[in-house]
Structure 1
Amino acid sequence: MIKRILIDKRWDGDTGIGKLYREVMARMPVHVVPSFIQVEVGLGNMLTPVILANEIRKTPADVFYSPSFMPPLYSRIPFVLTIHDLMHLFYYTKWHRIYYKQVIARCAAKAKQIITVSHFSKQQLIELLGLPDHLITVIYNGVDENFRENTVAYFSGRPYFLYVGNRRKNKNLLAMLSAFARAVIPDEFMFFLSGETEPALAVHIGKLGIAHRVRFLGYIPEQDLPALYKGAFATLYVSLMEGFGLPVIESMASGTPVITASTSALPEISGGAALCVDPKNVSAITHGIETLVNEKTIYQHYVQLGYHRAAEFSWDKTAMKTWDTILATP
C-alpha cells in the first residue's frame, strides 16, 4: 500500500542526527512516496513548530516524520519524531530549558510515536518531560559496515589516542586532556582530536604542557574516519552525557578499544565492551589510559569484546525499525 510521508530533511548534515537521517533515507521502502519540508529556516529557530504545522497543513501526505526533536505545534496528520537526548535541559541556557519543557514537550506529547536512541534517553523523556512510556520506542543507532570491513590504518608515526566529536561542554574535553597529561605513559603517545582548537582549549593545553603531544585534525570527511579509528591506539570518549555515542561503536567496529564514561547512555551502548570510568574524576580517566597502555592482556580483552559488541548494531536494523514505526501510523 502506497504511503505518502512528509520528511524534515533539514537535519541532513555532519552530525550524528544527520548520519541517522541519511542511513534511514537510504533504506526507504519502495511503497513510500516522500516529500520534504522546503523552508530554509534554521534548525534552532523557535518558530519551527509553527512553521512545521503550516507546512503540514498544505501537504497531502499521510504521515510527518522528523529525525530530531522539533515537533509541529499542531498537525492534522499523525507524526513521528526522534528525540535523541535532553542535552538542552542540562548544557544550554535557561531559556532553552523553558522552551524545551513548555513548548517541545507539550508538542511532542501529541506525536503518534516518539523514537529515542537508548533506554537511558527514554527514561529521561519519561521522568523529565513527563512523556508516557507507551509513546516512546527505543531504536538504537547503527554502525557503518565500512568500519568493520576497513583494513587500512592511518599512519601517524606515533601511537595516538583519538577523540571524535564536537566541543560542547558535555563532551568533557578539559578533563580528558588533563587525564592524558597526568598519565604515566611513554611521551611518544599523542592525543588526536577532530575539529579545530578553541581559545579556552589552547590555554588549557598550554598550562598542561602537552601542546607538542596534542594535534587537532580539522574537519574529517566521513570516508576517512575508518582509517583514523583503525590507526588509533584507543578512543577516548569520556563524555558527561550522551543519548547514544556513535564514536563508541564505530571505534569498536574498527578493532580499537574505547575508554568511555560510566554514566548516561554510554554503559548501555558499550555493553561491557569498553573500559568505563567516572567522567567527573580525572584520576579515574588517567587510570583508564594507563591501564590500556600498560596491560596488554586487558587491552586485547577490550579489542575482542568491542568487535562482538559492535556486531550487534547495524543501520539496516535501525532503518527497518524506524520505517516500521513510521508506517505503523494509521
Structure 2
Amino acid sequence: KVLVLVSVVSSLLVTTQEPLVDVSTSAVLETCFDVIFVMEFLCRCISSPSKRIYVQDPFNWCDMLAALGLPLRASVGFVLQPLSSLEAPTVQQVLLLLFLPIFRFLKLLRYFESFHLLVDAGKNSIAALPVLFYTMAVITLLSSSAIYLVESRDNIPSLPHSIWLALVTMTTVGYGDYAPKSTGGYFVVATLTGVSVLFLALPVGIIGHVFTACWESRAQVLLMNRVRKCLVKWGYTIKDLKILVEYVDADGDGTLNLPEFIELIRQMRIGLTSDSAVDLFMLFDDDHSGLVDYNEFLRHIFPDQYVEYIQDKQQEDEEMRSSSKRVS
C-alpha cells in the first residue's frame, strides 16, 4: 500500500508548473516502481491457479495496466520532460504522466473489501433510477421552457442556454454564467430551486437506504464474496462441489451437519478458518434445521449456476417421464 501511494505521489511531482523533482531522479524512481509492479503482476499471474480467471477478474486489470508503465517508459527513452514544458505531448507521455498514476492508485481497491458493498448498493438501486432520471428530464424541460419564455434573448440567447441554467439550478451548482434578470425568471428559478431540493433527496435517500441495508449485513456479504472468489479462483465448478459434498457426507443422508460442513471447507482448502466456516454454515442454513444440503450450498455460492442446475434437472425429469410414458 505504501509503495503504491509513494509511486503516485512521485508521478505527480513532475506534473507541477515547476517540477519538484529532477527529471533524471524521477526517471530512476519511476523505472524502479515500474519494475516492481511488473514483477508483482508476473508473480500474481504465475501463482494463480487459473490464468483465465485471473485475467477476467476486474480487480486484476489495474495490475495489468500498471505493468504497462515499463514498456511505455522504455518507448520514450525512460526520461520524461515535465508536463508543463510539453506543448504537444505524445500518447505515451499522456499515459505515463496522467493515467499511469490512476492505474497504480486503483491497485489499492483489492484491499477495500467494503467497496463491494457500494457496488452492490448501486446494483440494487439501479431499478429505481430510470424513473427518477425521467422525472428530472421532465422538470428540466418544463422549467427551461418557462425560463426561455420569460427572459429576453439578450440574457438567454437560446433554449439550450435555458436548459443549461435549469440544470445548474437543479443540481445547486450555480456557475453564475447565466442567471435570470426578469421578475418572471426569478419566480421560475426560485420555484425550480425548491422543487429540485425536494426531488434530489429521493435518489440520495434510495441509495442511502440500500447501502445501509448492505452495511448492516456486511459481515455476511463480505464472507460470501470471499468464499465465492476463492472457489472461482481455484476453478471449482458445481460438479466439483457435488462430489465434495458427497465425499464428506459421512452418514449419506444427502445433507451436511456442522462438523461435516467444516470438513467440507477444510477439504476445499480455500483459506477459511473454523469460525468463518461456522458463520458460513449459519448463513446457508435457511430453514434453521441444523443441516445444509447441496441445493442450499449451491444457491448461495453460485446463484446463476443454481438456476441453470434446477432447469436442467427439471428438463431431465420431464424427459424421463416422457420416455416412461412411451415405454408404458
Q: TM-score per shorter chain, which class?
A: under 0.3
Q: Which has the higher contact order (CA 8 A, sep 6+)?
A: 1
Q: TM-score, normalised by structure 2?
A: 0.23
Bigger proportion of residues as helix: 2
